[in-house]
Amino acid sequence: MSIYDIEVSTISGEQVSLAKYQGKVLLLVNVASKCGLTKQYEELEALYKAKAATGFEILGFPCNQFLGQEPGTEAEIQQFCTLNYGVTFPMFAKIEVNGANRHPLYQALIAAQPSAIKNPTGGLADKLAEMKLLPETDSDILWNFEKFLIGADGQVLARFAPDVTVTSAEFTEVLDKVLA
C-alpha cells in the first residue's frame, strides 16, 4: 500500500486522500500546541513559505498522546496555530501515532522508517528516559514534532527525532538533496 492510498481528515473535517499531494515532497509532523517544542511551528512555517513554490508541502497532524499536550478541539488547534504562528501549511484532525489505535498513515510511515535521525547535541530521549516517558518500542514515535520526509515518488526517505529542527544541518542536508 502506498501512502497515497491513505485517507485523512483535514482539521476542518473534510476527508481527503494523500493522493492529493502526489508528486510533491512532503514533510509530515505530529504536532502539539502545549509542548516545549511547540515553537517549532515558527520554523516549520518559515520553511513552508520558503519552499512551497518548489513543490514542497508540510502536513501537520495534531496528537494528544504525549502528556495531553494537544487537548483542544480541531477549531481551537487551528485558531492557536493561526494566531500564534501564522500557520498556513495544511493541518489535519487529531490522530494517534502510537499504540493500538495508531492511524494507518503512521503505521505506514513507521514501517518504512522504523528509526529516526537523532540530534547529535540533543538529549530529548535521555530526558524522557529520566522521566520514564519513553514509548513502548524503539520504533514508536518518541514525542511531538517527530518528522517524516517523503519523496515526490511517495517513498519515505527519512525520519527525524523531535529535537531535530528543520533548520538543523541534519535536516537541511537531507532536504536539499531531495529538492535538488
The residues annotated as belonging to the active site are 35
Distance between CA atoms of 11 and 179, rounded to whole angstroms?
A: 27
Which DSSP state fits 139?
T
Q: How many CB atoms lie within 10 A of CB 159?
A: 21
Q: How far is CA 168 from CA 121, 139, 144, 165, in A?
A: 11, 22, 17, 5
Contacts of 107 (CB under 8 A, 6+ apart): none
Q: Which grid cell is 16?
A: 481527503
